[in-house]
Amino acid sequence: MTELTMPKLSDSVADAVIVKWLKSPGEPFRRGDALLEVETDKATVVYEAETDGTLETILVPEGGTAAVGAPIAALAGAGPALPRVAAPVAADRANATPVARRTAVELGVSLHGVEGSGPGGRIGREDVVRAAASPTPLKAAASAAARGDVRVLVPTATQATIARRMAESAATIPSFTVSTDADVSQIVALRFGARAERGDTTPSLNDFVVKAAATALREFPRFNASWVSDTIECYSRINVGVAVATDDALLVPVVSDADTKSLAEIATETRRLADAARRRALHPAELQNGSFTVSNLGMFGVRSFTAIVDVPQAAILAVGAVRRAPVEDATGGVVFRDVMTLTMSCDHRVVYGADGARFLSRLRELLERPLVLAL
């Protein structure tokens, strides 16, 4: 008998929720068969069997949460037998999942006295949220009088993990921001002409930004790095994450080796990744190993914003909407150009203000000479 443990399906996963078991106890499977659906912080993914075997016993039911590496099922015929010893629960330690304990700390809720709805009365995240939202009679009366009825929204596992990672970033990264305006009139003109010939396959403005960022990262490798255990890790591969907003989450699929891809290849890849993200059909590998992130809210008319650095990366680029703005020309006259604001948030442990200014200056230069990116 061997154990099936919760797999690590993305860089940021600490625990995950089992959405559905695709095999029943006693049912055999072959290597590559789909065993279960798991909801991580990034997406709902299907985990495939790595060897032949039989699903003997399900240890974590559908809807249950388990930490990465924790046993979730017992398998037969899948390898050498392994003894399974249940971890004892101390008398003064509440029987709760790891995510429930973290949620209790975040919400200031004592786990003692919380009624668990999981197997054996184990406390889950939903139980903690429900306990935090249950006011005393006095509080309930005051709340009803002051703010009306309260509707409590329980975050999904994805939303809860995003919240935890953003809080971790804000609490641990000494960040700074730099911003600049880029004249993207030539890109707008190029795209206008190309759309008549290529239609929907024309690279988007954001594709130009991803290509420009990848090119700049090759020239400024310190931004393609992470702060890890009081050291700076610089990476040889440039993998640019592209933030995609879905109905209930923000996913960041990764364009691997973006510096080696042509503008057309980047356009094809980002279009495919964005579609998969909105359908929650991304493969775990497509969410891993990002070294830099581009987040664009221009489609919503946002002029500029400050993005939060995605741990453990060293920087993230926030892209605003294109707007018509008056610009002084070489003769001292005023002309209207297509201008876009770029704002970069950086980890001050890895790079400094002058570094950020030089990187952003090079990025602006590349965007203002788009033929360099297109060739």
Q: Which residues are catalytic?
A: 348
Give residues with Cβ within 8 angstroms of 192, minimum separation 6. none
- Residue 200 has which token pair? 């929907």
Q: Which residues contact 300 (CB under 8 A, 6 or more apart)?
A: 321
Residue 157 CB partners (closer than 8 Å, separation 6+)? 16, 17, 39, 40, 41, 65, 99, 125
For 5-68, the three-class secondary structure string (H helix, E strand, C coil) is ECCCCCCCCCEEEEEEECCCCCCEECCCCEEEEEECCCCEEEEECCCCEEEEEECCCCCCEEEC
Furthest-apart CA atoms within the chain: distance in Å = 81
What are the contacts of 318-326 at 24+ separation with CB within 8 A?
Answer: 318/342, 318/343, 318/344, 318/345, 319/206, 319/209, 319/294, 319/295, 321/297, 322/184, 322/188, 322/205, 322/298, 325/181
Give the closest residue to 346 by CA, choosing from 297, 288, 293.
293
For residue 233, the surrounding DSSP H or E stretch is strand 231-234
**Beta partners for 228?**
231
CB 44 within 8 A of CB 280: yes
Is residue 158 within 8 A of residue 249, CB to CB? The reply is: yes
